[in-house]
Amino acid sequence: MNQILLNGITIEQLAEALIPLLNIAKKTNENTQNDLLTRDEVCKLLSINKTSLWKHTKSGRLKSFGIGNRVYYKRNEVLEAVKPLNV
């Protein structure tokens, strides 16, 4: 395991220096959750075929978004739809 030795810096200074980096990581994670997925990506994520995806979309369990002649799904909505009810 690699180690980084910091000499001449206090814990407070280190924490202050890390705050902007942590904020960037948090924003990146939020953006990832709002990504748009294609039908193929959703099928791969859920391990289902396109027929099942179509049925879930038509039943209202999954919400699709049309942009031009393409169909997309929001990653966070897909993950929320398959989340167990008891969690």
Question: How far is 26 from 9, CA to CA, in rounded Å?
Answer: 25
CB atoms within 10 A of CB 70: 11
- Report yes or no: 42 and 79 within 8 Å, Cβ to Cβ: no
Domain ranges of the chain: 36-81
pLDDT, tens digit, 9 for 90 and up, residues 17-68: 777 777 765 655 555 556 899 999 999 989 999 999 999 999 999 999 998 8
Pick from 85, 71, 20: which is nearest to 43 by CA? 71
Q: State yes or no: pLDDT of 3 exceeds 80.
A: no
Q: Are 42 and 22 in contact (CB under 8 A)?
A: no
Provide the token pair at 86. Answer: 């008891």
For residue 13, what pLDDT is reported?
A: 78
Structure pTM?
A: 0.59
Q: Are strands 64-67 and 70-74 parallel, antiparallel or unpaired?
A: antiparallel
Contact 72, 37 (CB under 8 A): yes
